[in-house]
Amino acid sequence: MFKGYCPVESHLVHSSRGAMLISLIITMVILSVLGAAMLSFFSTSTMSQLGGNSSMKAYYLAESGYRYADGELANTSKSMRDNKLEFLHDKICTLSGDDGKFHLDIYPYYYKTTADHPVGSTTLNTKVCGGFPPGLVLTSGFLKINDKVCPYTNAVQIGSNITFTISGVTSVINNDTTVYSVSHSSSNRTVTDAEGNNYIDLEISTGSRNAFPLLNGTFKIDGSINPNRIWCYKKRGEDRLEGITPSDDPNGTFDLYVNTTYDIVLDKFVKLKSTGIVYSNSDLETKREITYHIPIFEERMGKVTYIETFEDGGLPGAFAGGAGEVGGHEIVDGALHVTTTGESSIDFNWRSTYVDLESVWEDAGYLLSYDLQTKIRTYNESYPDNKPPFFMGGISFRKVSSESNSDLYGISYLRGRQTFDSVNWEESSGIPDADDLIPEDLYNGGLEGDESIRYSKPAIVLWQKTDSSYKWLAYKKLTSDDYVVYNPTPSDPQKLRLKDWSNLQVRVIEARPLGFSGGGPTTFLYGDTITIMRGTTKIGTARVNGTPILTSDNWATNGAAGVLTLSDVQLEDSMSIQFNDDLQVNGVTRARASGTLGSKTNFIRAYYGDSGASPAPVTPTDPASPTDNIRWANPRISTSGETVNWPVDDVSDWAVDNDYLTLVQWTGFNTGVSAETSTVEPNAVIKDSTLKSPDSGDPFGDRPEIALHTSGDTSSSIYFDDVAIQAENRTAPASLPVIQQ
């Protein structure tokens, strides 16, 4: 029954099949677990890489936000930059294709008034042009408004608006006036560059110390010996400004005396936060925030110098020739050599340098001032001692165009030659229009080489060219005592030839003149900001451009008088300067106007110096004077690191250690030309309005403004070197970068 059936065998077969199924299930479970674990590893790696990339992308977006803000401000006029800061605050910029975005927050540490305030106001309504800085607490302290420092006893902040309770308002405060925070040193002390001594402890008033940012701030010190100098600090630790250095020489030595009465005025400062954002509003959203601590140098002025030493073999970019070249020029032994006789000229291409004359002109209220210099050598083997006995070479300025007949001024080392034709002396130097360029007085009593040839006395001549006609304006006779021409001898009376690399300089200040009297107790200084007041009414402001031209220098007794040369003149609507208006600096009357404001005028000074090669270098002795010939030598630059010397900005600062030049005192003047009356710079300052820079509204165009020139049959014997320009620059110094945090 049931043939072929075996129960035991059947059980074994089913058991084997079940075991195989169980093994398969276990294997599948193990593989699933391993797969899940590996998936976790892969997901973690992928997400980690994605997160890292997102973080870096957000960081770069944050940096882009700063660059965007910096570019926006750079392309905004100075008067509109505060408005631009407000526009940038709380701004979000999204990249095309929704490829991330950045968010900007602007926190200024200065204030702008939001209304006009009359004399005697007890409240001051202001705002910050952006967001109010987080953590800034204002209770009481001091504010600088216009040129006066006023205390405040309370501050109420609502959003970006701050209302100060204030006292001491003695003049009208106009809407949109910049207000600066002020603090004071808690003790009288000398701050130096010595390690551990470059700090100032501030007074403990919360509003005074907190008003200064924690990092990278800058300040000026009203009342100090140099109130216009800008100082930097690295950080503020509670009450202490640490790491103080001068902005113009951060690695130099210094002594800074601070008194508790001096006003430490915080310069404009902005804290900018830029936040980069990627994958916004998603689970993968990533943000990176960068904070930038930015001192603002809009009000800073300093002079920048460009020097061309002709070391590269070919004509440099600053003297590239082209349309502005008359005659031929080449570089020989590191100097610019004129290769042709007759008239030659080569324009200075200032646009290829970092001295932007158009910006200088605009920033000064459409007035263009600068200093120029060069060193000149005459050399020709065909003459005795290889030195031509006649020559003409120097600097052109106020050059209107690159055309050969362009209007311009010139200042030249010049010596002419005349030949007697049995009736008259005729110019034979090859200098065109020599009768209009060489004053006859330079030939009178001149030394004669023989009966048929005579040479003029060597001189420095100031001249002009207008409508293709020449006219000398003033001249200075040169003798061997000036150290720029050789000493004549009985055997060679014509040895008054130009010494190698004699230095020639010109300072042209374009300004509006204003007479003053009752000056004192200290002098006006170059760069001072003057506020013009009539009683309690503000008439306007102006900036001192150049040292005052003094008819009386009795500063100590408030008896100084003379002429101020002013730029950046800004008068209130319908206002004009009148006789007896107060001229104030830092809220203190320093003089009174003795007349009305003059029109745009050139004030021209010339200087000369010697290389010191022969005779031995002359060294100055005390007391130093700008008009004597006791001075240091001006050798030709021969190695890297050497520089040129300039006259000081304030003649009152002329001293032994900076006495490298002699101020030209003109010997004679052409009809209608004279030097300004001056007790300190007698017969030295020429005032002329024939050639001026463009006026407001007129284009600066492509005017070259500056050139080098020669003239005459010995032009090819003339070499130039160390051509330099110095002009004002209002940009921040490269030595003080923005701090990124």
Radius of gyration of the chain (CA): 36
Is residue 73 one of the residues assigned to a domain?
yes
Contacts of 537 (CB under 8 A, 6+ apart): 171, 172
pLDDT, tens only, 469-506: 999 999 999 999 999 999 887 777 778 999 999 999 99
Last residue of a domain, one of 279, 300, 321: 300
> What does the pLDDT look like over 190-245, one tens digit per residue?
999 988 899 999 998 777 888 999 999 999 898 776 676 789 999 999 899 999 99
Question: 325-382, pLDDT tens digit by residue?
Answer: 999 999 999 999 999 999 999 999 998 887 889 989 988 999 999 999 999 999 999 9
In a domain, 611, yes or no: yes
pLDDT band at residue 248 using 50, 70 and 90 as cut-offs: confident
- 138 falls within a domain: yes
- At 125 the pLDDT is 97
Answer whether residue 15 shows pLDDT above 90.
no
Q: Cα(339)–Cα(326) distance, rounded to whole angstroms?
A: 11
Where is average pLDDT lowest: 261-265, 520-524, 569-573, 726-730? Answer: 726-730
In 400-523, which ranges are E strands? 408-415, 417-420, 425-427, 448-450, 453-455, 459-466, 469-477, 502-519
Please tell me whether residues 195 and 283 are part of one structural domain.
Answer: no
> Are 59 and 206 contained in the same domain?
no
Q: Quickly list DSSP for 12-46.
A: HHHHHHHHHHHHHHHHHHHHHHHHHHHHHHHHHHH
pLDDT for the residue 22: 59
Q: Which residue has the higher pLDDT, 343 or 255?
A: 343
Same structural domain, 318 and 202:
no
Q: Beta-carbon neighbour count of residue 221 at 10 Å?
A: 23
Same domain for 354 and 487, yes or no, is yes
Residue 527 C-beta-side C-alpha neighbours within 13 Å: 16
The C-alpha atoms of residue 718 and residue 414 are separated, in whole angstroms, by 12
Is residue 15 in a domain? no
The contacts of residue 572 (CB under 8 Å, 6+ apart) are 538, 539, 540
One domain, residues 708 and 608: yes
Would you say residue 502 lies in a domain? yes
Pair of tokens at residue 543: 């900036």
Q: Is the pTM of this model over 0.75?
A: no
Residue 219 sits in the same domain as residue 293: no
DSSP string, 217-264: -EEEEETSS-TT--EE-SEEETTEEES-EETT-TTS--EEEE-TTSEE
Cα dihedral 454/456/457/463 (nearest 10): -170
How far is the C-alpha of 117 from the C-alpha of 226, rounded, in Å? Answer: 31
Is 293 part of any domain? yes
Whether 322 is covered by a domain: the verdict is yes
- Among 28-37, 400-409, 471-480, which is the least confidently predicted range? 28-37
Q: Work out the mean pLDDT of the chain and round it to a whole number.
A: 87
Number of domain units in the chain: 3
pLDDT at 266 over 50: yes
Q: Does 626 lie in the same domain as 497? A: yes
Q: Based on the fold, state whether residues 264 and 306 are members of the same structural domain.
A: no
CATH number at residue 320: 2.60.120.200
The answer to whether position 548 is within a domain reads no
**Confidence grade of residue 52 (pLDDT, cut at 50, 70, 90):** low
Statement to judge: residues 401 and 459 lie in one domain: yes
Asked if 629 and 655 sit in the same domain, the reply is: yes
Residue pair 582/530 in contact (Cβ under 8 Å)? The answer is no
Q: Which domain holds residue 220?
A: 117-268
Same domain? 639 vs 716: yes
Query: Does residue 464 sit in the same domain as residue 610?
Result: yes
